[in-house]
Amino acid sequence: MVSAFPLASLLVRLERERNTVKRNPSQSRTLVSFRTALAYSDRMALPFGAMSGMAAGSVTVPSLRAGECQVWWASPAAGRSELLALLDAGEHARWSRFRRDEDRARYLAAHALARLVLAGHLGTSAAELGFSAVCRHCGGTDHGKPRLLTGGIEFSLSHSGERVVLAVTRDAAVGVDVEQLNPRRDVAALIPEILSATERRALAALPAAASALALLRYWTRKEALLKATGDGLAVALSTITVTPPPAPPALVAWAAAPPLEAEAHLFDLNPGPGHVASLAVLGPRLAVVERDADGLLAALPFAGSA
Ligand SMILES: CC(C)(COP(=O)(O)OP(=O)(O)OC[C@H]1O[C@@H](n2cnc3c(N)ncnc32)[C@H](O)[C@@H]1OP(=O)(O)O)[C@@H](O)C(=O)NCCC(=O)NCCS
């Protein structure tokens, strides 16, 4: 497992090393550049909810039009305990295994959000929706791309830091990824695992202050693609090449196996300050509409939710 998924094992190691880094932060050039990136992202990001097309505080699920991808943003704090009633036994068991409150809150907000939005689009009960997660590589049933048993709507979930995100559409496979800018994480160690040779050259040409943010942008664009296909980190991120940030997002080369089965479209999302997020769509180019979900999660009992 460890040798098959070097990025996953590296991430675990980096999390373990966080305390060491915390004790001696002034010695890391990457940490300094990450702090600069964080400050830059906070200055440049639109306040959450201010971007065009975002409906703040919505308590209904607007219909999902043909050619549209809805992207719903929630905060972990919206994952209040009343929402547990929407989860099935497997989700409930997984929620209860998280040791940290913030992990439980993110998980609950994400899964309740997925159930509420999907049920709203299908005109059914959120608590009764059934999901599968079959791995396309080994057939395992607990780590593949989550799908509705009934089909009909494609979706993808991601959660990191203060953001929880759900992408839904009727028209194409989708993958979404959000990552928090974490000044304590030594992302430079991830470069060989994340970037292709072309991308490494492009990153090296950037000023140090821009490179940490650019690296995270590369990461989210590529992980979004691998979540759209369902491969996840079973496929090495470095086998994919995307356009260099801040260029508009697009796939440049896919050397991974299995090959892509549909045209890929990438979008940079706006998660708000301190986070970077990307969306991948495999199929036709869709119109992306970002929405605030906190009102929806706060609005239980919700028509059609239980
Ligand atoms: C999918 C994956 C890249 C997500 O990583 P992450 O950045 O830590 O987490 P994110 O918050 O962005 O996404 C998590 C969500 O992705 C979804 N997800 C899980 N596996 C997925 C897959 N294979 N494809 C697409 N989406 C997946 C789930 O909804 C998950 O939410 P949950 O943990 O609340 O159930 C990573 O978990 C992965 O690669 N998993 C499968 C790896 C594996 O075990 N492969 C074995 C092959 S034999």
Q: Per-residue DSSP letters for 98-133?
A: --SHHHHHHHHHHHHHHHHHHHHHHTS-GGG--EE-
Are residues 292 and 274 part of one domain? no
The pLDDT value given to residue 78: 92
C-alpha 17/C-alpha 9 separation (Å) is 12
Average pLDDT, the chain: 83
> How many domains are there within the chain?
2
Asked whether residue 297 falls in the same domain as residue 225, the answer is no
- 178, 158: one domain: no
Mean pLDDT, to the nearest integer, of 52-68?
70
* CB-based contact 117:154 (threshold 8 Å): no
Query: pLDDT value at position 184?
Result: 80
pLDDT at 141 > cutoff 80: yes
| pLDDT greater than 50 at residue 32 | no
State whether 211 and 74 are in the same domain: no
Q: Whose CA is nearest to atom 2 of ligand 1?
A: 232
How confident is the model at residue 185, as a pLDDT?
A: 79
Whole-angstrom distance, CA of residue 180 vs CA of residue 193: 19
> Tokens 């090959």 label which residue?
259
Same-domain status, 87 and 116: yes
Ligand 1 midpoint to CA 25 (Å): 30
Would you say residue 18 has pLDDT above 60? Answer: no
**What does each C-alpha distance from 59 to 25, 145, 303 come to in angstroms?**
43, 28, 10
Which of 42 and 268 is assigned the larger pLDDT? 268
Q: For the ranges 56-70, 133-147, 200-214, 249-263, which has the lowest average pLDDT?
A: 56-70
- 10 or 66, greater pLDDT: 66
CA distance 27 to 190: 18
274-302 residues labelled b (16+ CB within 10 A) or e (exposed): bbbbbbbbbbeebebbbbbbbbbbbebeb
Q: How many CB atoms lie within 10 A of CB 23?
A: 7
Count other Cβ atoms within 10 Å, centred on residue 271: 28
d(CA 120, CA 106): 21
Residues 226 and 192 in one domain: yes
Residue 301: pLDDT band (50, 70, 90) is low
User: With bands split at pLDDT 50, 70 and 90, how would you rate the model's confidence at 187?
Assistant: confident
Q: Ligand 1 test: best mutation among 227, 231, 233, most atoms within 8 Å of CB?
A: 227
Q: How many CB atoms lie within 10 A of CB 3?
A: 6
Whether pLDDT at 118 is above 90: yes
pLDDT range class, residue 279, cuts 50, 70, 90: very high
Closest CA to 276 of 178, 165, 137: 178
Distance CA 175, CA 277 (A): 11
CA atoms within 13 A on the CB side of 117: 33
Regarding whether 232 and 158 lie in a shared domain, the answer is: no
Q: What is the pLDDT of residue 60?
A: 82
Locate the ligand 1 atom nearest the alpha carbon of residue 223 and give its number: 3
Do 148 and 239 share a domain, yes or no? no
Pocket lining: 120 vs ligand 1, CB cutoff 6 Å:
no
Write down the pLDDT at residue 238: 97
- Distance between CA 226 and CA 158 in Å, rounded? 13
Q: Is the CB of 158 under 6 A from ligand 1?
A: yes
The yes-or-no verdict on residue 231 having pLDDT over 70 is: yes
Alpha-helical regions (H) of the chain:
6-16, 18-23, 29-44, 89-97, 101-122, 191-194, 197-204, 208-229, 294-298
Q: What are residue 158's phi and psi, to 5 degrees? A: -155, 150
* DSSP symbol at 248: P
CA distance 213 to 43: 13
Taken in order 86, 106, 58, 248, is the CA torsion positive or negative?
negative
The bridge status of strand 163-169 relative to strand 154-160 is antiparallel
Q: Are 199 and 250 in contact (CB under 8 A)?
A: no
Q: Is the peptide bond before 62 cis (omega within 30 degrees of 0)?
A: no
Q: Is 249 in the pocket of ligand 1 (CB under 6 A)?
A: no
Q: What is the mean pLDDT of residues 128-135?
A: 96
Rg (the chain; Cα; Å) = 19
CATH number, domain containing residue 91: 3.90.470.20
pTM check: above 0.75 = yes
My answer on whether 199 and 238 are in the same domain is yes
Tell me, yes or no, whether 38 and 185 share the same domain.
Answer: yes
274 and 192 belong to one structural domain: yes
Identify the residue with better confidence: 61 or 55. Answer: 61
Task: Report the relative pairing of strands 68-74 and 287-292 from DSSP bridges.
Answer: parallel
Distance (Å) from CA 232 to ligand 1 centroid: 6
Q: Would you place residue 208 in the very low, low, confident or very high pLDDT band (cuts 50, 70, 90)? A: confident
Q: Is 35 a residue whose pLDDT tops 80?
A: no
- The parent domain of residue 61 ranges over 51-166+286-306
CB of 107 closer than 8 Å to CB of 97: no
Considering the domain architecture, whether residues 159 and 256 belong to the same structural domain is answered as no
